[in-house]
Amino acid sequence: MWTPIAEEAERAARVLHPHGREMQRPAQRRILTVANQKGGVGKTTSTVNLAAALTSYGMRVLVVDLDPQGNASTALGVEHTSGTPSVYEALLGEIELADAVQESTQSPELLCVPATIDLAGAEIELVSMVAREARLKQALNDEALDELDVDYVLIDCPPSLGLLTVNALVAAAEVLIPIQCEYYALEGVGQLLNNIELVRAHLNTSLNISTILLTMYDGRTKLADQVTTEVRQHFGDRVLRTVIPRSVKVSEAPGFGQTILAYDPGSRGAMSYLDAAREMVAQQDAGTGR
Ligand code: ADP
Ligand code: MG
């Protein structure tokens, strides 16, 4: 008999015994910026859990924490107290990227450039700097990333459209937009799209919105389905089929310095991030130059 417990056990087995889950590393490194200027939509949660999921498929992944709150750094269990070599010093060109990279507690294949509270000043400090929009791109140069040998770079943005987010959009080829299945889900998305267009027109012609991820889906509400339908109508097949469910476990994991894959591998949250990451890898095979 197929009981919920059996189902859960099966899921756990899939996560705990990853053999056969190895996937082809992409021919070309992919750099994705995870952006949405609305706070609390699941940017950080999606960044760290997708990164962990990609790692479990055999990819080597770098997470760049670009939010002064440092939530991604926390979730990956990396040191990020003020003064720790971080993305801030790398943006200012004071240190090389490699000097700020730490291994996550999740896996030695999952790296993180942490953000400290020092980054809070960067939004203003950058204004008067030369090539202020391209500082992150410089830090994430090919040589530095080759040395780290990473297949994916995921950049976690702060909840604003300021210079830090612009730096993230200039440094990446792809944008991943998490959209929360909630009231006003699309509020502000228009503004984000405008900004992405501006960056594409003036600063980074290869930028493209490759991926939309629906987060915090609550199947009990009609609203969640309305949002899902609306987003799919608007963005078509760029919306991943996998939808991330609302789950307490997902929100608990960062408190333990863990991703959901480590915290509760058999949970629906873990499975959904694994499925979403698998779809992302499939995009790569389909030649995501969208
Ligand atoms: P953002 O980075 O966009 O501000 P977060 O990823 O920090 O958003 O998520 C906002 C809050 O929602 C956090 O407290 C997080 O733990 C919680 N959260 C994110 N995804 C889920 C989910 N699928 N289910 C339940 N809570 C979630
Ligand atoms: Mg965040």
Residue 64 contacts residue 48 (beta carbons within 8 Å): no
39 ligand 1 Cβ < 6 A:
yes
Would you say residue 274 lies in a domain? yes
Would you say residue 157 lies in a domain? yes
Query: Measured in angstroms, how far is the CA atom of residue 270 from the centroid of ligand 1?
Result: 14
Would you say residue 102 lies in a domain? yes
Q: Name the residue of 43, 67, 189, 251 to mutate for ligand 1: max ligand atoms within 8 A of Cβ.
A: 251
83 ligand 1 Cβ < 6 A:
no
Residue 119 contacts residue 161 (beta carbons within 8 Å): no
Q: Write out pLDDT tens, residues 255-265.
A: 999 999 999 99
Would you say residue 230 lies in a domain? yes
Query: Measured in angstroms, how far is the CA atom of residue 273 from the centroid of ligand 1?
Result: 13
Question: Which burial class, exposed, middle or buried, applies to 165 when counting CB atoms under 10 A from its CB (0-12, 13-18, 19+)?
Answer: buried
Residue 33 contacts residue 172 (beta carbons within 8 Å): yes
Q: Could you identify the atom of ligand 1 that is nearest to the CA of residue 217?
A: 23
At residue 83, the pLDDT reads: 95
CATH number of domain containing 48: 3.40.50.300
244 ligand 1 Cβ < 6 A:
yes
At residue 3, the pLDDT reads: 62
242 ligand 1 Cβ < 6 A:
no
Query: Measured in angstroms, how far is the CA atom of residue 265 from the centroid of ligand 2?
Result: 22
Q: Could you identify the atom of ligand 1 that is nearest to the CA of residue 252?
A: 16
Would you say residue 36 lies in a domain? yes
The SS3 of residue 278 is helix
Residue bearing the CA closest to ligand 1, atom 24: 246
Count of domains in the chain?
1
Would you say residue 177 lies in a domain? yes
What the block records as the tokens of 177 is 């937009």
Residue bearing the CA closest to ligand 1, atom 22: 246
Would you say residue 12 lies in a domain? no
Query: Measured in angstroms, how far is the CA atom of residue 35 from the centroid of ligand 2?
Result: 9
Query: Measured in angstroms, how far is the CA atom of residue 41 from the centroid of ligand 2?
Result: 8
Domain of residue 139: give its range.
24-285
Q: Could you identify the atom of ligand 1 that is nearest to the CA of residue 215?
A: 23
Q: Which residues have C-beta within 8 Å of that of residue 134, sequence separation ≥ 6?
A: 167, 170, 171, 203
Which residues in the chain show pLDDT less than 50?
1, 19, 289-290
At residue 17, the pLDDT reads: 55
Residue bearing the CA closest to ligand 1, atom 15: 251
In eight-state DSSP terms, residue 251 is H
Q: Write out pLDDT tens, residues 54-65.
A: 999 999 999 999
Would you say residue 111 lies in a domain? yes
What does the radius of gyration of the chain's CA atoms come to, in whole angstroms?
18
- Point out which residues pair with 175 in neighbouring strands: 33, 209
- Give the residue ranges of DSSP H helices in 152-267: 163-171, 189-202, 222-235, 248-252, 260-263
Residue bearing the CA closest to ligand 1, atom 5: 42
At residue 21, the pLDDT reads: 72
**Structure pTM?**
0.93
Q: Write out pLDDT tens, residues 19-56.
A: 457 888 999 999 999 999 999 999 999 999 999 999 99
Run of H or E including 48: helix 43-56
Q: For the beta carbon of residue 129, count every other beta carbon within 10 angstroms.
A: 15
| Nearest ligand, CA 178 | 1
- How far is Cα 41 from Cα 34, in angstroms, rounded to an integer? 11
